[in-house]
């Protein structure tokens, strides 16, 4: 794939470039890729050597793999293979003038189609007068993610460009992860809220059913109370009539005694 893993060198890494991002960064990636594209082998070799001597440019614990390509077709083949494996390119250094169907701006555009977060730097030997030409071809949504360098450039200049670009890519990745975590939290809260609403509705229906059953039981109880009251009233009436009968019988008996005596 044209890539060679590089061992991190903490002594040659400026703390201000990587440390700030690393303090808050929790990466899903454990390996990221750098891509250099130039059709001139000497320039390609120099760029690779400068980047390799720049030391560790990614946060600690993240491996960087450097790839090189001599044209647009080879560069896109490497990129598709990287993204097809589930990994990402965080920085691409591309010469403006390249053989093949696409120039350097076309290569960057194709790379942005694969990964809009990628940071790209173009190289040109034509001087600053090509800045407006290059900028005019960069899509507006990617203006914050591109830069250009004029050949020849110093080793320190390229090293700093790579560090800044990789640092910015990881900062953007950190924001992506935070946004994804926030979205996941919102989705979880939404699911919990839906579950709570479902449980409340089920509980409300259960309580309504219980209230309905209790109301029916209360109605039956009231009917039983009314029936019992009617029975008690009837029994009381019967007891009253029985008492009156007994009283009348007693009175008649008492009256019969004197009458019998008189009669005899």
Q: What pLDDT, in 10s, does the model give residues 70-129?
A: 998 999 999 999 999 989 999 999 998 887 778 888 898 899 999 988 998 888 876 666
pLDDT band per the 50, 70, 90 thresholds, residue 38: very high
Q: What is the pLDDT of residue 259?
A: 65
Q: What pLDDT, in 10s, does the model give residues 189-235?
A: 888 888 888 889 888 888 888 888 888 888 888 888 888 888 888 88
pTM of the model: 0.61
Residue 128, classified by CB atoms within 10 Å of its CB into exposed (0-12), middle (13-18) or buried (19+), is: exposed
Q: What is the pLDDT of residue 58?
A: 82
Q: What pLDDT, in 10s, does the model give residues 51-87?
A: 998 888 888 888 889 999 999 899 999 999 999 998 9
Average pLDDT over residues 235-263: 73
For residue 9, pLDDT beyond 60: no
- Give kind and range of the element (H or E) at residue 59: none
- For the chain, give the mean pLDDT: 80
9 vs 14, 22, 26, 75, 215, CA distance in Å? 11, 15, 21, 27, 80
């Amino acid at each position: 794939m044209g890539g060679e893993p590089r061992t991190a060198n903490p002594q040659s890494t400026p703390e201000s470039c990587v440390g700030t991002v690393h303090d808050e960064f929790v990466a899903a990636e454990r390996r990221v890729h750098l891509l250099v594209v130039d059709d001139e082998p000497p320039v390609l070799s120099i760029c690779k050597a400068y980047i390799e001597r720049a030391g560790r440019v990614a946060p600690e614990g993240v491996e960087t793999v450097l790839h090189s390509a001599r044209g647009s077709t080879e560069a896109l083949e490497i990129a598709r293979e990287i993204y097809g494996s589930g990994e990402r390119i965080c920085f691409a250094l591309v010469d403006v003038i390249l053989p093949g169907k696409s120039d350097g701006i076309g290569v960057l555009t194709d790379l942005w189609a694969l990964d809009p977060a990628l940071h790209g730097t173009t190289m040109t030997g034509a001087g600053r007068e090509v800045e407006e030409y290059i900028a005019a071809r960069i899509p507006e949504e990617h203006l914050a993610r591109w830069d250009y360098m004029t050949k020849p450039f110093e080793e320190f200049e390229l090293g700093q460009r790579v560090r800044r670009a990789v640092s910015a890519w990881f900062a953007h990745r950190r924001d992506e992860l935070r946004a994804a975590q926030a979205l996941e939290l919102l989705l979880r809260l939404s699911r919990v809220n839906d579950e709570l609403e479902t449980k409340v509705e089920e509980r409300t229906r259960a309580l309504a059913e219980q209230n309905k059953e209790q109301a029916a039981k209360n109605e039956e109880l009231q009917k039983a109370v009314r029936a019992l009251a009617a029975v008690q009233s009837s029994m009381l009436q019967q007891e009253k009539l029985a008492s009156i009968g007994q009283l009348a019988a007693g009175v008649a008996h008492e009256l019969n005694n004197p009458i019998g005596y008189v009669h005899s």
